[in-house]
Structure 1
């Protein structure tokens, strides 16, 4: 019997020409879908390929665009995802697919040339169950570019491997992912009760089943972040709340870096309380001095953000730097607030509303 110790089981070997199924959940992506589909269909593989689009109830014309694209290329297959949940759509697309390797793609992203061929070679070379690469965020507007810089920076999203790692090797999770269907079916596909962080949870089950999840920095995917401050805040609050739910469910399986944003938020709230008590004269003398220690992490954070903003990481002009100074705390504090709520009360029916009613501008 094979060991289930993480990394000890080899994923099945698949012939190079066995075929690839690309799966993409889609909701309100009119401004991004066509380019995302084009980069998928341009991927060169030795065998047959298909792209399954799981269509949520879009309100911006995305469904009509998807239908036109499907009508122009027989490799595109449409399935309905009335629930609009990402894991539900992914499972619908996977079940509708025919081939032994599944490539997850996002309608808000673009695969780089050679991505799939390289991923298939890495899967075969290291016998992993799932391989992922680097998320390279980019932007079209000053705000979106500032979000992209935050995504790509070590202080923006906590330094996960797929946000800029350079060393190939076993990983906790994989961005999007190129996966063996047999392993997905063995561990039970995506958990449809998890609306955010479903990829992390799936990779946890893959690793607990004894298979390898692999990071290959030569793989690159372009990701387009949210286009407005309110959408960014809603996205990160929902993501943080679901991370809190995952902590409730899996405890120590979560990385310590996930606890940094909520710790920052707690320190900020305590600093405000202490400041009010000091101004009101309630805290005086040595008690006031001792309580002032809560300011230190907040001051350190402010200095870090300002140093990053003023430096090359903040962009080139004053507008870039102002947006960077606003974006970093928005991401961290929104995520932290969501995380605390998720740990305290669970995620329940929390959804990422940053895509609802989205009116994306068409690509130039």
Structure 2
């Protein structure tokens, strides 16, 4: 039928959906990247507005007044999965394109995504999160995102071969498949993409990675924001690992194992120092191997990845990399231990 992704008669209309909370610094650029798409089909933009305190709501109201294609729906809780579901339910086009307020879509994104949906028959397609920083701190965060030393060098961070995938960044969905899966799980504050894609794959659907879909992502700009983000990310990854113990890649367990090794090794090393002072065999000093190994790893990663981008960025990288590793790993333990709700007030959405 006309407008269906596979009808071949007309380009299907698309609905851009975006949860928004305290994004005054990024929302204008994110929305501008949608209205600038070279996709010739019809489109609508639906923003799920959380209770922002930085003027985001007023900015969105001004954009809506200037362009009626930009609409909004209230998201009282301000969380990502609720916001996505509210925005999806407030739209009706057969293709749903998830957008993040920290992202800017290239002008050919919708066109390539819809072509990929039609060519592959996939339920969801996505591409690369291309982190780009402006300040030395943001540049360091972007380097961690794109490095195998940071987030593991996964395809949706560094690119790779086109084909079926476990999950993808953001997502361009066939509405009927998305609705059949039950939309996003509102009980999962982070990692809801992975959880939804797991359900789609369980239904026999295909998740498709296309590296031509490269989305510019703006990293967090302060250490506090970054720590909260990755503590929350690790927390919910631990929660998902507990819920689905047989469906998680081994890479998700590397940060918590590293944190445990470094902390236990450091404590054993301190006891080893006590042994040496007491003139006993200081065999517990061997525990220091783990923190020293991580320190060496940190220096090696900084020299090879960040130093070519300048000394200031390299110095920030020395702080950013362990912040991400340790916050993610510590959060993972909280999630596995069913302590998700206990620290959710700190980590936020």
TM-score band by shorter chain is over 0.9
Once the two structures are superposed, the pairs formed by residues 282-361 of structure 1 within 5 Å of their partners are 288-289=282-283, 291-348=284-341, 350-351=343-344
Per the alignment, residue 211 of structure 1 pairs with 205
Tell me if the contact between 2:5 and 2:11 (Cα under 8 Å) persists in the aligned partners: no
Distance in 1 (alpha carbons) for counterparts of 2:336 and 2:85: 27
Give the C-alpha shift of residue 141 in structure 1: 1.2
Moved over 3 A (4+): 282-289, 291-300, 312-315, 349-356
Mapped pair 1:71 → 2:52: no
Contact persistence 1:306–1:325 (CA under 8 A): yes
Q: 1:100 aligns with which of 94, 100, 113?
A: 94
Distance 2:90 2:343 in 1: 27
What's the offset of the Cα at 1:286?
A: 10
Tell me the residue number matched to 1:154. 148
Encode CA deviations 1:22-61: one digit per residue, 9 max, x unaligned. 0000000001000100001111223210010000000000
User: In structure 2, do the counterparts of structure 1 residues 101 and 353 end up closer, same or farther at CA, with 3 Å as the change threshold?
Assistant: farther
CA distance 1:25–1:61, change in 2 (3 Å): same
C-alpha separation in 1, matches of 2:289 and 2:231: 25
Deviates more, 1:183-192 or 1:309-318: 309-318
> CA 1:315–1:63 in structure 2 vs 1: closer, same or farther (change >3 Å)?
farther
Post-superposition Cα deviations, 1:240-299, rounded to whole Å, max 9, x if no partner, equal 11111111111111111011111111011111211111111189999744x555444433
Q: Return the offset for 1:100.
A: 0.4
Contact 1:170–1:212 (Cα < 8 Å) also in 2: yes
Mapped to 2, the partners of 1:129 and 1:284 lie a distance apart of: 65
2:183 is equivalent to residue 189 of structure 1: yes
Give secondary structure in 1 for the equivalent of 2:126: strand
Classify 1:312/1:346 alpha carbon distance in 2 versus 1 (closer, same or farther; 3 Å).
closer
Report the 3-state secondary structure (helix = DSSP H, G, I; strand = E; otherwise coil) of the residue aligned with 1:242: helix
State the 1:83 CA deviation.
0.6
Q: Determine the C-alpha separation between the residues in 1 that align with 2:122 and 2:175.
A: 12
1:164 aligns with 2:158: yes
| SS class of match (1:251) | coil
1:91-130 deviations in whole A, cap 9, x for unaligned?
A: 0000111200000001111001201101111111111101
Q: State the structure with bigger RCO (CA 8 A, min sep 6), 1 or 2.
A: 1
Q: 1:42 to 1:248 in 2, by over 3 A?
A: same
Task: Give the secondary-structure state (helix, strand or coil) at the position aligned to 1:53.
Answer: strand
Could you say if the C-alpha distance between residues 12 and 18 of structure 1 is closer, same or farther in structure 2, counting changes exceeding 3 Å? closer
2:23 and 2:128 map into 1 onto residues whose CA distance is: 22
TM-score, normalised with respect to structure 1: 0.90
The 3 A distance-change label for structure 1 pair 353 and 77 is farther
Using the size of structure 2 for normalisation, the TM-score is 0.93
* Contact in 1 for aligned 2:147/2:305 (Cα 8 Å): no
| Residue aligning to 1:143 | 137
**Distance change in 2, residues 1:221/1:324 (3 Å):** same
Deviations 1:284-339 (A, max 9, x none): 999744x5554444333322221121124344322111100110000000110010
- State the alpha-carbon separation in 2 of the partners of residues 320 and 160 from structure 1: 23
Residue equivalent to 1:256: 250
Shift of 1:140: 1.6
Root-mean-square deviation (Å): 2.1
Unmatched runs of 5 consecutive residues or more in structure 1:
1-10, 357-364
Match of 1:121 in 2: 115
Of 91, 102, 127, the match for 1:133: 127
Measured after TM superposition, the shift of residue 238 of structure 1 is 1.0
